[in-house]
Chain A
Amino acid sequence: MADIVFDQIDKIYDNGFQAITDLNLEIRDGEFMVMVGPSGCGKSTALRMVAGLEDITEGELRIGDERVNEKPPRDRDIAMVFQSYALYPHLSVFDNIAFGLKLRKMPKPEIREKVEYAARILDLTEHLGRRPKVLSGGQRQRVAMGRAIVREPQAFLMDEPLSNLDAKLRGQMRAEISAIQANLGVTTMYVTHDQIEAMTMGDRVAVIDRGLLQQVATPRELYLDPDNVFVAGFMGSPPMNMAEVTVEHDGDALAVQLDNGRIAVGPALLDRRPALRDYVGKRVIMGIRPEDVKECAEHTEIPADRRLSVRIDLVEALGSGIEVHFAFPAPRPDQRTGRELSEEVSVVGELIGEQPGANAWVGTFGPRSFVRNAETVDIALDTDQAYFFDLDSGLAIRH
């Protein structure tokens, strides 16, 4: 087992496309690192560079303190699970799992022992004699896992291993992979575009966009304290609501000016982020998570200076809560926020016939709310939990 270090890595393809720019990242020994980002962001390229399937243009890649840039894949002692599983169709499940061990000329009894052990963990024992094509998607996925496990490699590399499974199986395999990794303690690099996988599985998560590393942190930290507007918008479902607003004085405290009306900034937030005072009179991006948009009728404790009357465009009852969609009276920021990459946002926008330029927001209300479509309701924004970002740099205003 070993750590994996990206040291100022660049990747430029032959056609001139720069897939990765100056990537610095350390995956610690035994850590489960998830790389997440929109499609085409370079996360798979990074993974394939660790596997040795892509050349490294610039920089140094180290596995266990050893430079591996020039090492062929077979000498790197890593195992990879592919999105398509890449099982050998002509070999039985047993031979698929044993493939790497046979290549290493391991004695037969030892191979048998290891394969049977892996099959027991993965619940594949009764399928060992069958061909991959008669297995279900979940079973194939497990065979691919088994092939990685028996190698006892320094690191597991997984390239969207769950995206070919249906939703229910995906949830189950998510838990299984996490458990297996925790048991074996093998350093793991896991690539996905699905932020739920990232949040639930990773010890730490690296968010990548357009070849640039945005933030590396624990899932909790990413969610509660995003470095910049992209991470804030990308992580979370439904994604964070955002609007461009002006910061103003409100007595001793601060408020934000909307197109019509203003909202007070929570004092608790101001204590945590005093730097916001430097932005008085300037435009900033304000972000509020859907769960911090509340229904006044249910949350009478929120002061009146953080309330707003809006017309509800769409109500989606989820059982555990209600998602309400409405137009927020302040413009949508022009920056790439990661929000627009969420399929949910654009679909709902289309559904409710959103005006071009209108800023569609989402709030999650309690399951017992009586809000209906086309109703005008009073909502409260819990601005103690709001996020503010610099309009030019997109960086979080923190101190």
Chain B
Amino acid sequence: MSDNAATRAIDESAFQGRSGTQRGFGGWFIDTGWRHLVAFAALLFALFPVYWVVMGAFDSSGSLATQDLVPQDVSLDNFRALLTDDGHPPFWTWFWNSMKVCFVTSTGTVLLCASAAYAFSRMRFRGRRSGLMGILFIQMFPNSVAVVAIFLILQRIGDVFPALGLGQLSSLVLVYLGGAIGIQTWLIKGFYDSIPHELDESAKVDGATPFQIFYKVILPLAVPILVVVFLLQFIVTINELILAEALLRGNESNQTLALGLSAYVNAGFDSRWGPFAAGSLIAAVPVLVIFYFAQRYIVSGLTAGAVKG
């Protein structure tokens, strides 16, 4: 049966291929060519902003209004304006702050969500279903909706523990962590669910405690999804502006990249576009580096999460 079906499929495709060549370009375009066109349009749509920022960074005219599609005058002037010239902004402080916030938030997210997902996937306890549904519902309200409440909470906490009050990076990390748990826990749980239970049972009989099963069997197998969660969280965090603006506004020395750059470009109206583009370009480097080292996990992690999560 299946052999016949396969042969028929091959015959049909061979037939189509022949008729395509006979019908010439028009036939080819109707069969397959239009897909190339759509793909090309999508690529253009996705890549143009990137191209514009890269060109902006190296275009010495330095403003949005005067930037050309192909810059007339390529130089590193914008980078100098941002990093070394007199009156340059504290870019490296922003960068360093962002790195701290992103790494701590992403690592924390992975640790928290990996453990929470293990409980939800492998243990049977009262409130398990409602707990899972609960974090999903809470996740549906964006953090920015709660920004006033968060602001007030941190204000009060700051009265008692200044290190966790307004204007502190550590408190920003805590807020980010709280916001991340929902969807990432679901993503990781979906991946765990696809790991056969026999492996747990086998480890159990071999003498492992629940914690040993977690870090010796489940965690190593879940590395792809953990890498993906780390990366997604890193990108979300480095781009986050609304909460950072609300919570860090008062403290000049604790600005993040997104916050600092947006304030910098807003203050200069049009004239600081070039240095801003240069800053964005530098900010993209850490993400690219992580992507480079993690890419072998990313595809398997994303697809596994997509199917089961």
Contacts and interface: CB of A to CB of B under 8 A. Distances in A.
B is bound to A? yes
Nearest to B195: A89
B205 interface: yes
B208 A74 contact: yes
Contact of A86 (B198, B209, B216, B220): B198
B208 A86 contact: no
Given A89-B221, A90-B220, A84 B206 contact: no
Interface stretch (A18-26, A75-83, A123-131, A133-141): A75-83
Given A89-B221, A90-B220, A90-B221, A84 B198 contact: yes
B205 A73 contact: yes
Contacts of B216: 99
Interface centre among B199, B205, B207, B212 (most CB of A within 10 A): B205
B206 A100 contact: yes
B217 A88 contact: yes
Which of A78, A79, A88: most chain B Cβ within 10 A? Answer: A88
A74 B200 CA distance: 12
Contact of A82 (B198, B212, B220): B198
Nearest to B222: A90
A147 interface: yes
B202 A82 contact: yes
Counting contact residues on chain A (CB < 8 A from B), the size range is 20 to 34
Contacts of A74: 204-209
A147 B209 CA distance: 18
Interface residues of B, number: 17
Nearest to A81: B202
A53 B205 contact: yes
Contacts of A151: 206
Nearest to B217: A88
A103 B206 contact: yes
A52 interface: yes
B215 to A, nearest CB: 12
Contact of B199 (A51, A79, A86): A86
Contacts of A72: 204
Nearest to A103: B207
Interface hub of A72, A82, A86, A151 (most chain B Cβ within 10 A): A86
B31 interface: no
B292 to A, nearest CB: 23
B68 interface: no
Interface in A181-237: none
Contact of A53 (B204, B206, B212): B204
Contacts of A51: 201, 205
Nearest to A83: B198
Contact of A78 (B196, B198, B202, B205): B205
A147 B198 CA distance: 14
B212 A103 contact: yes
B203 interface: yes
A399 interface: no
A394 to B, nearest CB: 36
Interface string B215-232: 011001100000000000
Interface string B100-121: 0000000000000000000000
Contacts of A84: 196, 198
Given A88-B217, A90-B221, A52 B208 contact: no
A108 to B, nearest CB: 17
A299 interface: no
Contacts of A71: none
Contact of B202 (A52, A86, A104): A86
Contacts of B221: 88-90
Nearest to B199: A86
Contacts of B208: 74, 103
A100 B217 CA distance: 12
Nearest to A147: B206
Contacts of A90: 220-221
A79 B206 contact: yes
A104 B207 contact: yes
A79 B205 contact: yes
Contacts of A78: 205
Interface string A145-165: 001000100000100000000
Contacts of B204: 52-53, 72-74
Contacts of B198: 82, 84, 86
B202 A80 contact: yes
A88 B216 CA distance: 10
Nearest to B212: A103
A387 B71 CA distance: 99
A382 to B, nearest CB: 44
Contacts of A82: 198, 201-202
Contacts of B201: 51, 53, 80, 82, 86
Nearest to A102: B216
A186 to B, nearest CB: 15
B207 A100 contact: yes
A181 B201 CA distance: 23
Most chain B CB within a 10 A radius of its CB, from A100, A104, A151 = A100
Contacts of A147: 202, 206
A74 B201 CA distance: 10
Interface in A92-119: 99-100, 103-104
**8 closest A-B pairs (Cβ-Cβ)?**
A100-B206, A86-B202, A86-B198, A74-B207, A90-B220, A80-B205, A103-B207, A73-B204
Given A52-B205, A73-B205, 11 more contacts: A73-B204, A74-B206, A79-B206, A80-B202, A80-B205, A88-B202, A88-B203, A99-B206, A103-B206, A147-B202, A157-B205
14 contacts: A51-B205, A53-B204, A74-B207, A74-B209, A80-B201, A86-B199, A86-B202, A88-B199, A88-B202, A90-B220, A90-B221, A100-B206, A104-B207, A147-B202
Interface of A: 51-53, 72-74, 78-80, 82, 84, 86, 88-90, 99-100, 103-104, 147, 151, 157
